[in-house]
Chains A and B, each alone.
Chain A
Amino acid sequence: MVVIDGAGGYVPLYRIDRSDVADQHGGRGRGESAVPARDENHVTMASEAVSTALGRSTTAAEDVAAVFTASISDQFAEHGIAAQLAYRAGTSTDVRTGDFQASGRAAADALATAREYVRATDEPAVVAAVDVMPVESGGDDESTMGTGAGALVLRPDSDTPVATLESVGQATTGFLERHREHGESATAGDARFERRHGVAPAASTAFDRADAGGELEYGVASAPGFRLARTALEPIDAERVSTFNQVGYAGTATLLLDLCHAIESADPGATIGAVAYGQGGADAFVVSVDDAADDLDGLTVAEQLEAKEYVSYAKHLEYRERYDYEGVPNA
Protein backbone atom coordinates (compact mmCIF):
# COMPACT_ATOMS: atom_id res chain seq x y z
CA MET A 1 0.00 0.00 0.00
CA VAL A 2 1.08 3.57 -0.58
CA VAL A 3 -0.47 6.40 1.40
CA ILE A 4 -0.53 10.14 0.89
CA ASP A 5 1.00 11.31 4.15
CA GLY A 6 0.75 15.00 3.29
CA ALA A 7 -0.68 17.14 0.49
CA GLY A 8 -0.19 20.83 -0.24
CA GLY A 9 -1.33 23.20 -2.95
CA TYR A 10 -0.04 26.65 -3.78
CA VAL A 11 -1.90 29.36 -5.67
CA PRO A 12 -0.25 32.78 -6.04
CA LEU A 13 -2.00 35.84 -4.66
CA TYR A 14 -2.65 37.55 -8.00
CA ARG A 15 -5.43 36.97 -10.54
CA ILE A 16 -6.35 38.33 -13.91
CA ASP A 17 -10.08 38.68 -14.43
CA ARG A 18 -10.76 36.91 -17.73
CA SER A 19 -13.17 39.66 -18.74
CA ASP A 20 -10.21 42.09 -18.62
CA VAL A 21 -8.47 39.92 -21.21
CA ALA A 22 -11.66 39.83 -23.26
CA ASP A 23 -11.89 43.63 -23.09
CA GLN A 24 -8.50 43.90 -24.79
CA HIS A 25 -9.11 41.49 -27.61
CA GLY A 26 -12.86 40.99 -27.84
CA GLY A 27 -14.91 37.99 -26.88
CA ARG A 28 -16.24 37.09 -23.47
CA GLY A 29 -14.46 35.99 -20.35
CA ARG A 30 -15.80 34.26 -17.29
CA GLY A 31 -13.78 33.41 -14.21
CA GLU A 32 -10.18 34.30 -13.53
CA SER A 33 -6.68 32.91 -13.83
CA ALA A 34 -3.77 32.95 -11.40
CA VAL A 35 -0.75 35.13 -12.15
CA PRO A 36 2.63 34.73 -10.40
CA ALA A 37 4.09 37.64 -8.46
CA ARG A 38 7.10 39.24 -10.06
CA ASP A 39 9.41 37.60 -7.53
CA GLU A 40 8.00 34.10 -7.86
CA ASN A 41 9.47 31.35 -9.99
CA HIS A 42 9.11 27.60 -10.38
CA VAL A 43 11.33 26.78 -7.43
CA THR A 44 9.75 29.25 -5.00
CA MET A 45 6.18 28.21 -5.83
CA ALA A 46 6.93 24.50 -5.68
CA SER A 47 8.73 25.07 -2.37
CA GLU A 48 5.55 26.57 -0.91
CA ALA A 49 3.57 23.47 -1.87
CA VAL A 50 6.27 21.09 -0.61
CA SER A 51 6.53 22.94 2.73
CA THR A 52 2.79 22.66 3.23
CA ALA A 53 2.72 18.97 2.26
CA LEU A 54 5.68 18.06 4.50
CA GLY A 55 4.31 20.18 7.35
CA ARG A 56 1.08 18.21 7.23
CA SER A 57 2.84 14.85 7.10
CA THR A 58 4.51 12.64 9.68
CA THR A 59 7.57 12.49 7.43
CA ALA A 60 10.73 14.38 8.42
CA ALA A 61 12.52 16.02 5.49
CA GLU A 62 15.74 14.14 6.24
CA ASP A 63 13.89 10.84 5.78
CA VAL A 64 12.64 11.65 2.27
CA ALA A 65 14.33 9.21 -0.10
CA ALA A 66 13.23 10.72 -3.42
CA VAL A 67 12.01 14.03 -4.81
CA PHE A 68 10.34 13.88 -8.21
CA THR A 69 9.13 17.05 -9.89
CA ALA A 70 7.21 17.90 -13.02
CA SER A 71 7.05 21.06 -15.11
CA ILE A 72 6.42 21.94 -18.74
CA SER A 73 7.33 25.61 -18.45
CA ASP A 74 10.64 25.74 -16.60
CA GLN A 75 12.72 28.25 -18.54
CA PHE A 76 15.95 26.37 -18.01
CA ALA A 77 17.15 23.59 -20.25
CA GLU A 78 19.77 22.80 -17.62
CA HIS A 79 19.20 23.80 -13.99
CA GLY A 80 16.53 21.49 -12.67
CA ILE A 81 13.87 21.87 -10.02
CA ALA A 82 13.96 18.64 -8.00
CA ALA A 83 17.41 19.09 -6.49
CA GLN A 84 16.67 22.70 -5.54
CA LEU A 85 13.45 21.66 -3.81
CA ALA A 86 15.26 18.85 -2.01
CA TYR A 87 17.95 21.18 -0.70
CA ARG A 88 15.48 23.83 0.38
CA ALA A 89 13.32 21.22 2.18
CA GLY A 90 16.36 19.89 4.00
CA THR A 91 16.57 16.34 2.66
CA SER A 92 19.69 14.23 2.96
CA THR A 93 22.18 14.52 0.08
CA ASP A 94 21.48 10.80 -0.40
CA VAL A 95 18.09 11.70 -1.91
CA ARG A 96 17.16 10.46 -5.41
CA THR A 97 15.85 13.23 -7.69
CA GLY A 98 14.04 13.28 -11.00
CA ASP A 99 12.75 16.10 -13.20
CA PHE A 100 9.83 15.11 -15.44
CA GLN A 101 8.82 17.30 -18.37
CA ALA A 102 7.69 17.55 -22.00
CA SER A 103 4.07 16.44 -21.59
CA GLY A 104 1.04 17.66 -19.66
CA ARG A 105 1.10 14.13 -18.17
CA ALA A 106 4.46 14.78 -16.50
CA ALA A 107 2.99 15.17 -12.99
CA ALA A 108 1.23 11.83 -13.40
CA ASP A 109 4.49 10.28 -14.59
CA ALA A 110 6.21 11.70 -11.50
CA LEU A 111 3.43 10.51 -9.18
CA ALA A 112 3.25 7.00 -10.64
CA THR A 113 7.04 6.73 -10.52
CA ALA A 114 7.13 7.93 -6.90
CA ARG A 115 4.52 5.32 -5.99
CA GLU A 116 6.68 2.60 -7.54
CA TYR A 117 9.73 4.02 -5.78
CA VAL A 118 7.98 3.90 -2.40
CA ARG A 119 6.81 0.33 -3.04
CA ALA A 120 10.31 -0.75 -4.06
CA THR A 121 12.22 0.93 -1.24
CA ASP A 122 9.68 1.23 1.60
CA GLU A 123 10.85 4.81 2.02
CA PRO A 124 8.98 8.11 1.65
CA ALA A 125 9.03 10.22 -1.50
CA VAL A 126 7.92 13.73 -2.38
CA VAL A 127 6.23 14.59 -5.68
CA ALA A 128 5.78 18.19 -6.78
CA ALA A 129 4.53 19.86 -9.93
CA VAL A 130 4.75 23.52 -10.85
CA ASP A 131 4.04 25.61 -13.91
CA VAL A 132 3.69 29.16 -15.09
CA MET A 133 1.94 28.67 -18.39
CA PRO A 134 3.17 31.11 -21.04
CA VAL A 135 0.67 33.38 -22.72
CA GLU A 136 0.64 35.41 -25.89
CA SER A 137 -1.15 38.72 -25.90
CA GLY A 138 -4.23 38.14 -28.04
CA GLY A 139 -3.65 34.38 -28.13
CA ASP A 140 -6.63 32.00 -27.97
CA ASP A 141 -5.76 30.63 -24.54
CA GLU A 142 -4.41 33.83 -22.99
CA SER A 143 -7.19 34.12 -20.43
CA THR A 144 -7.24 30.47 -19.30
CA MET A 145 -3.53 29.73 -18.86
CA GLY A 146 -2.71 29.80 -15.17
CA THR A 147 -0.03 29.07 -12.65
CA GLY A 148 0.37 27.18 -9.41
CA ALA A 149 1.99 24.27 -7.66
CA GLY A 150 1.04 21.11 -5.83
CA ALA A 151 2.90 18.52 -3.79
CA LEU A 152 2.30 15.15 -2.16
CA VAL A 153 4.30 13.17 0.36
CA LEU A 154 3.99 9.42 -0.26
CA ARG A 155 5.02 6.67 2.12
CA PRO A 156 4.41 2.95 2.54
CA ASP A 157 2.13 3.49 5.52
CA SER A 158 1.22 6.01 8.17
CA ASP A 159 -0.90 6.06 11.31
CA THR A 160 -2.47 9.30 10.15
CA PRO A 161 -2.53 9.43 6.34
CA VAL A 162 -4.54 12.18 4.67
CA ALA A 163 -5.42 9.77 1.87
CA THR A 164 -4.58 6.42 0.35
CA LEU A 165 -3.39 5.95 -3.23
CA GLU A 166 -5.46 2.89 -4.07
CA SER A 167 -4.53 2.27 -7.68
CA VAL A 168 -3.00 3.65 -10.86
CA GLY A 169 -3.78 3.00 -14.50
CA GLN A 170 -2.05 4.32 -17.55
CA ALA A 171 -2.79 4.51 -21.25
CA THR A 172 0.11 5.50 -23.43
CA THR A 173 -1.61 5.88 -26.76
CA GLY A 174 0.98 8.04 -28.47
CA PHE A 175 -1.78 10.42 -29.55
CA LEU A 176 -0.52 13.96 -30.19
CA GLU A 177 -2.43 17.06 -31.15
CA ARG A 178 -1.69 20.11 -28.97
CA HIS A 179 2.02 20.91 -29.00
CA ARG A 180 4.35 23.78 -28.22
CA GLU A 181 7.82 24.62 -29.43
CA HIS A 182 10.38 26.53 -27.42
CA GLY A 183 9.78 30.19 -28.06
CA GLU A 184 6.34 29.67 -29.57
CA SER A 185 2.80 29.68 -28.27
CA ALA A 186 0.94 26.38 -28.09
CA THR A 187 -0.77 25.07 -31.20
CA ALA A 188 -4.03 23.73 -29.87
CA GLY A 189 -4.99 21.97 -33.08
CA ASP A 190 -8.50 20.63 -33.53
CA ALA A 191 -10.00 20.51 -30.04
CA ARG A 192 -12.97 18.39 -31.09
CA PHE A 193 -10.69 15.87 -32.78
CA GLU A 194 -8.48 15.79 -29.70
CA ARG A 195 -11.42 15.25 -27.36
CA ARG A 196 -12.83 12.43 -29.44
CA HIS A 197 -9.66 10.63 -30.50
CA GLY A 198 -7.15 11.73 -27.88
CA VAL A 199 -8.77 12.32 -24.54
CA ALA A 200 -11.76 9.98 -24.56
CA PRO A 201 -9.98 6.70 -25.39
CA ALA A 202 -6.91 7.44 -23.27
CA ALA A 203 -8.88 8.50 -20.19
CA SER A 204 -11.32 5.61 -20.33
CA THR A 205 -8.54 3.04 -20.78
CA ALA A 206 -6.57 4.59 -17.91
CA PHE A 207 -9.62 4.53 -15.63
CA ASP A 208 -10.35 0.90 -16.62
CA ARG A 209 -6.80 -0.09 -15.76
CA ALA A 210 -7.02 1.74 -12.44
CA ASP A 211 -10.04 -0.45 -11.80
CA ALA A 212 -11.95 2.69 -10.95
CA GLY A 213 -15.37 1.06 -11.11
CA GLY A 214 -18.44 3.23 -11.03
CA GLU A 215 -18.56 4.40 -7.45
CA LEU A 216 -16.07 7.27 -7.31
CA GLU A 217 -17.60 10.34 -5.69
CA TYR A 218 -15.27 13.08 -6.91
CA GLY A 219 -13.35 13.58 -10.13
CA VAL A 220 -10.22 15.63 -10.78
CA ALA A 221 -8.92 16.15 -14.29
CA SER A 222 -5.88 17.85 -15.72
CA ALA A 223 -6.03 18.79 -19.39
CA PRO A 224 -5.25 22.05 -21.21
CA GLY A 225 -8.85 23.25 -21.42
CA PHE A 226 -12.14 23.04 -19.56
CA ARG A 227 -13.89 20.83 -22.11
CA LEU A 228 -10.90 18.54 -22.59
CA ALA A 229 -10.87 17.99 -18.83
CA ARG A 230 -14.60 17.38 -18.76
CA THR A 231 -14.21 14.74 -21.47
CA ALA A 232 -11.44 13.08 -19.45
CA LEU A 233 -13.90 12.61 -16.57
CA GLU A 234 -16.71 11.15 -18.67
CA PRO A 235 -15.65 7.53 -17.93
CA ILE A 236 -16.53 8.05 -14.26
CA ASP A 237 -19.76 9.45 -12.99
CA ALA A 238 -18.28 11.73 -10.34
CA GLU A 239 -18.68 15.29 -9.13
CA ARG A 240 -15.92 17.38 -10.67
CA VAL A 241 -13.57 19.27 -8.34
CA SER A 242 -11.60 21.85 -10.28
CA THR A 243 -9.69 25.09 -9.86
CA PHE A 244 -10.01 25.85 -13.58
CA ASN A 245 -12.27 28.87 -13.13
CA GLN A 246 -10.10 30.42 -10.40
CA VAL A 247 -6.59 29.35 -11.44
CA GLY A 248 -6.81 28.33 -15.09
CA TYR A 249 -4.79 25.48 -16.60
CA ALA A 250 -1.66 25.40 -14.48
CA GLY A 251 0.12 22.81 -16.63
CA THR A 252 1.43 19.83 -14.71
CA ALA A 253 0.53 21.55 -11.42
CA THR A 254 -3.19 21.17 -12.08
CA LEU A 255 -3.25 17.43 -11.27
CA LEU A 256 -1.65 17.79 -7.83
CA LEU A 257 -3.27 21.14 -6.97
CA ASP A 258 -6.77 19.90 -7.80
CA LEU A 259 -6.16 16.56 -6.10
CA CYS A 260 -5.06 18.41 -2.98
CA HIS A 261 -8.15 20.63 -3.24
CA ALA A 262 -10.36 17.53 -3.52
CA ILE A 263 -8.68 15.80 -0.55
CA GLU A 264 -9.13 18.95 1.53
CA SER A 265 -12.77 19.42 0.58
CA ALA A 266 -14.05 15.84 0.67
CA ASP A 267 -15.16 14.05 3.80
CA PRO A 268 -13.08 11.16 5.13
CA GLY A 269 -14.07 7.95 3.36
CA ALA A 270 -14.76 9.70 0.06
CA THR A 271 -13.18 8.37 -3.13
CA ILE A 272 -11.57 10.48 -5.84
CA GLY A 273 -10.74 9.58 -9.42
CA ALA A 274 -7.93 11.77 -10.76
CA VAL A 275 -6.89 11.79 -14.40
CA ALA A 276 -4.12 13.65 -16.20
CA TYR A 277 -4.26 13.89 -19.95
CA GLY A 278 -1.30 15.14 -21.91
CA GLN A 279 0.86 14.51 -24.92
CA GLY A 280 1.07 10.77 -25.47
CA GLY A 281 -1.78 9.57 -23.29
CA ALA A 282 -3.43 9.70 -19.90
CA ASP A 283 -3.04 8.35 -16.38
CA ALA A 284 -5.71 7.71 -13.79
CA PHE A 285 -5.42 7.43 -10.01
CA VAL A 286 -7.92 6.26 -7.45
CA VAL A 287 -7.53 7.95 -4.09
CA SER A 288 -9.55 7.48 -0.91
CA VAL A 289 -9.65 10.23 1.70
CA ASP A 290 -8.63 9.38 5.26
CA ASP A 291 -9.42 10.95 8.64
CA ALA A 292 -6.35 13.21 8.90
CA ALA A 293 -7.61 15.19 5.89
CA ASP A 294 -10.22 16.66 8.19
CA ASP A 295 -7.84 18.84 10.15
CA LEU A 296 -4.88 20.17 8.18
CA ASP A 297 -2.35 22.87 9.04
CA GLY A 298 -1.73 25.78 6.72
CA LEU A 299 -3.99 27.42 4.19
CA THR A 300 -6.17 25.14 2.11
CA VAL A 301 -6.46 25.58 -1.64
CA ALA A 302 -9.98 26.94 -1.10
CA GLU A 303 -8.63 29.58 1.29
CA GLN A 304 -5.96 30.56 -1.22
CA LEU A 305 -8.60 30.87 -3.95
CA GLU A 306 -10.41 33.31 -1.69
CA ALA A 307 -7.34 35.34 -0.57
CA LYS A 308 -6.55 37.11 -3.84
CA GLU A 309 -5.82 40.42 -5.50
CA TYR A 310 -6.58 41.35 -9.07
CA VAL A 311 -3.90 42.74 -11.35
CA SER A 312 -4.34 44.85 -14.45
CA TYR A 313 -4.02 43.43 -17.94
CA ALA A 314 -0.59 45.05 -18.28
CA LYS A 315 0.65 43.47 -15.03
CA HIS A 316 -0.63 40.06 -16.03
CA LEU A 317 1.65 40.22 -19.07
CA GLU A 318 4.52 41.84 -17.19
CA TYR A 319 4.52 39.35 -14.32
CA ARG A 320 4.75 36.43 -16.72
CA GLU A 321 7.20 38.17 -19.00
CA ARG A 322 10.29 36.27 -18.03
CA TYR A 323 8.56 33.03 -18.79
CA ASP A 324 8.82 33.73 -22.47
CA TYR A 325 11.74 31.33 -22.85
CA GLU A 326 9.50 28.41 -23.64
CA GLY A 327 6.49 30.43 -24.55
CA VAL A 328 6.31 33.58 -26.54
CA PRO A 329 7.51 37.06 -25.83
CA ASN A 330 4.64 38.88 -24.21
CA ALA A 331 5.52 42.24 -25.73
Chain B
Amino acid sequence: MSGPRYHRTREQDQRLVAFECQSCGYVSFPDEKQTCKRCGDAPATFEEVQLAERGEIKTFVVQEYLPDDIEVPQPLAIVDLPQADGSGESARVYGLLTETELDELSVGTEVEARFRELFDDGERPINSFKFSVPREVKR
Protein backbone atom coordinates (compact mmCIF):
# COMPACT_ATOMS: atom_id res chain seq x y z
CA MET B 1 0.00 0.00 0.00
CA SER B 2 1.29 3.47 -0.79
CA GLY B 3 0.94 6.44 1.50
CA PRO B 4 2.16 7.02 5.01
CA ARG B 5 2.68 4.03 7.28
CA TYR B 6 0.05 5.04 9.80
CA HIS B 7 -2.65 4.65 7.16
CA ARG B 8 -2.26 0.89 7.33
CA THR B 9 -3.24 0.77 10.98
CA ARG B 10 -5.74 3.59 10.75
CA GLU B 11 -8.67 1.61 12.09
CA GLN B 12 -6.89 0.26 15.18
CA ASP B 13 -5.25 3.67 15.71
CA GLN B 14 -8.67 5.25 16.11
CA ARG B 15 -11.08 2.58 17.31
CA LEU B 16 -9.30 0.15 19.70
CA VAL B 17 -9.82 -2.76 17.34
CA ALA B 18 -7.55 -5.77 18.02
CA PHE B 19 -7.05 -9.21 16.44
CA GLU B 20 -7.69 -12.50 18.22
CA CYS B 21 -5.90 -15.67 17.08
CA GLN B 22 -8.53 -18.31 16.38
CA SER B 23 -6.16 -21.12 17.33
CA CYS B 24 -4.90 -20.01 20.74
CA GLY B 25 -6.81 -16.85 21.69
CA TYR B 26 -3.81 -14.50 21.70
CA VAL B 27 -4.94 -10.91 21.10
CA SER B 28 -2.67 -8.76 18.93
CA PHE B 29 -2.78 -4.96 18.99
CA PRO B 30 -2.28 -2.85 16.98
CA ASP B 31 -0.89 -5.07 14.23
CA GLU B 32 -2.73 -7.85 12.46
CA LYS B 33 0.07 -10.37 11.91
CA GLN B 34 0.53 -13.15 9.40
CA THR B 35 1.91 -15.46 12.05
CA CYS B 36 0.60 -15.79 15.60
CA LYS B 37 3.28 -14.59 17.97
CA ARG B 38 2.30 -17.09 20.64
CA CYS B 39 1.23 -20.39 19.01
CA GLY B 40 3.14 -19.91 15.76
CA ASP B 41 0.10 -20.68 13.63
CA ALA B 42 0.94 -19.55 10.08
CA PRO B 43 -0.88 -18.19 8.29
CA ALA B 44 -2.90 -17.48 11.39
CA THR B 45 -6.61 -16.75 11.31
CA PHE B 46 -7.37 -13.59 13.25
CA GLU B 47 -10.75 -12.14 14.09
CA GLU B 48 -11.40 -8.51 14.93
CA VAL B 49 -12.33 -7.84 18.53
CA GLN B 50 -13.21 -4.57 20.25
CA LEU B 51 -11.10 -3.61 23.27
CA ALA B 52 -12.44 -1.96 26.41
CA GLU B 53 -11.38 1.60 27.17
CA ARG B 54 -10.09 0.81 30.64
CA GLY B 55 -7.32 -1.53 31.62
CA GLU B 56 -4.52 -2.04 34.09
CA ILE B 57 -0.86 -1.05 34.05
CA LYS B 58 1.38 -4.12 34.00
CA THR B 59 4.65 -2.22 34.04
CA PHE B 60 5.97 1.18 33.05
CA VAL B 61 9.15 3.12 32.44
CA VAL B 62 9.69 6.84 32.80
CA GLN B 63 11.54 8.55 29.98
CA GLU B 64 13.58 11.54 31.10
CA TYR B 65 15.70 12.28 28.03
CA LEU B 66 13.68 13.08 24.96
CA PRO B 67 13.80 15.69 22.18
CA ASP B 68 13.05 19.23 23.36
CA ASP B 69 9.52 19.36 21.99
CA ILE B 70 8.38 16.45 24.15
CA GLU B 71 7.50 17.16 27.76
CA VAL B 72 9.42 15.10 30.32
CA PRO B 73 9.10 13.04 32.42
CA GLN B 74 7.15 10.97 29.90
CA PRO B 75 5.91 7.62 31.24
CA LEU B 76 5.47 4.73 28.83
CA ALA B 77 3.40 1.78 30.03
CA ILE B 78 2.40 -1.71 29.09
CA VAL B 79 -1.33 -1.96 29.71
CA ASP B 80 -3.59 -5.00 29.63
CA LEU B 81 -6.82 -3.99 27.92
CA PRO B 82 -9.64 -6.53 28.21
CA GLN B 83 -12.05 -7.17 25.38
CA ALA B 84 -15.07 -4.90 25.47
CA ASP B 85 -17.55 -7.78 25.79
CA GLY B 86 -15.58 -9.36 28.64
CA SER B 87 -14.75 -12.52 26.69
CA GLY B 88 -11.37 -14.03 25.84
CA GLU B 89 -7.97 -12.63 26.75
CA SER B 90 -6.75 -9.09 27.20
CA ALA B 91 -4.53 -7.38 24.66
CA ARG B 92 -1.13 -6.23 25.90
CA VAL B 93 -0.77 -2.68 24.64
CA TYR B 94 2.15 -0.23 24.68
CA GLY B 95 1.09 3.31 25.33
CA LEU B 96 2.31 6.75 26.34
CA LEU B 97 0.68 8.27 29.38
CA THR B 98 -0.85 11.71 29.31
CA GLU B 99 -2.16 13.99 32.08
CA THR B 100 -0.74 11.61 34.65
CA GLU B 101 1.67 12.51 37.45
CA LEU B 102 4.35 10.01 38.45
CA ASP B 103 2.90 9.66 41.94
CA GLU B 104 -0.42 8.54 40.42
CA LEU B 105 1.28 5.56 38.76
CA SER B 106 2.08 2.09 39.93
CA VAL B 107 1.76 -1.47 38.70
CA GLY B 108 -1.94 -2.30 38.79
CA THR B 109 -3.16 1.29 38.36
CA GLU B 110 -6.37 1.52 36.35
CA VAL B 111 -5.94 3.65 33.24
CA GLU B 112 -8.24 4.79 30.49
CA ALA B 113 -7.51 4.99 26.77
CA ARG B 114 -7.54 8.60 25.58
CA PHE B 115 -7.66 9.68 21.96
CA ARG B 116 -4.79 12.17 21.71
CA GLU B 117 -2.27 13.66 19.32
CA LEU B 118 0.55 11.12 19.15
CA PHE B 119 2.88 13.11 16.95
CA ASP B 120 2.65 15.44 14.01
CA ASP B 121 3.55 14.64 10.49
CA GLY B 122 5.20 17.97 9.70
CA GLU B 123 2.27 20.12 10.69
CA ARG B 124 -0.56 17.61 10.50
CA PRO B 125 -1.57 15.99 13.79
CA ILE B 126 -1.70 12.20 13.89
CA ASN B 127 -4.17 11.13 16.58
CA SER B 128 -4.25 7.79 18.33
CA PHE B 129 -4.44 6.26 21.78
CA LYS B 130 -2.58 7.21 24.91
CA PHE B 131 -3.53 6.38 28.48
CA SER B 132 -4.31 8.43 31.55
CA VAL B 133 -5.58 7.82 35.04
CA PRO B 134 -9.36 8.26 34.84
CA ARG B 135 -10.42 11.89 35.07
CA GLU B 136 -12.64 11.30 38.10
CA VAL B 137 -9.47 10.46 40.09
CA LYS B 138 -8.47 14.11 39.65
CA ARG B 139 -11.45 15.45 41.55
Contacts and interface: CB of A to CB of B under 8 A. Distances in A.
A307 B139 CA distance: 4
A6 B130 CA distance: 25
Interface string B112-139: 0011111000001101001000011011
Given A40-B116, A41-B117, A43-B125, A303 B15 contact: no
Interface string B88-123: 000000000011000000000000001111100000
Interface in B8-55: 14-15
Contacts of B85: none
B71 interface: yes
A291 interface: no
A44 B135 contact: no
Interface residues on A, range: 20 to 34
Nearest to A42: B125
Given A37-B98, A39-B117, A87-B14, A303 B130 contact: no
A103 interface: no
B95 to A, nearest CB: 12
A13 interface: yes
Interface string A28-64: 0000000001111101100110000000000000000
Given A13-B99, A307-B136, A88 B116 contact: no
Contact of B136 (A43, A299, A308): A299
Given A13-B99, A88-B14, A88-B15, A40 B139 contact: no
Contacts of B136: 299, 303, 307
A40 B116 CA distance: 6
Nearest to A46: B115
Contact of A41 (B14, B99, B114, B127): B127
Nearest to A84: B127
B68 to A, nearest CB: 12
Given A13-B99, A87-B14, A307 B138 contact: yes
In the complex, the 4 A-B pairs of residues with the closest C-beta atoms, listed nearest first: A307-B138, A39-B116, A307-B139, A39-B117
5 contacts: A37-B116, A41-B127, A44-B116, A79-B124, A87-B14
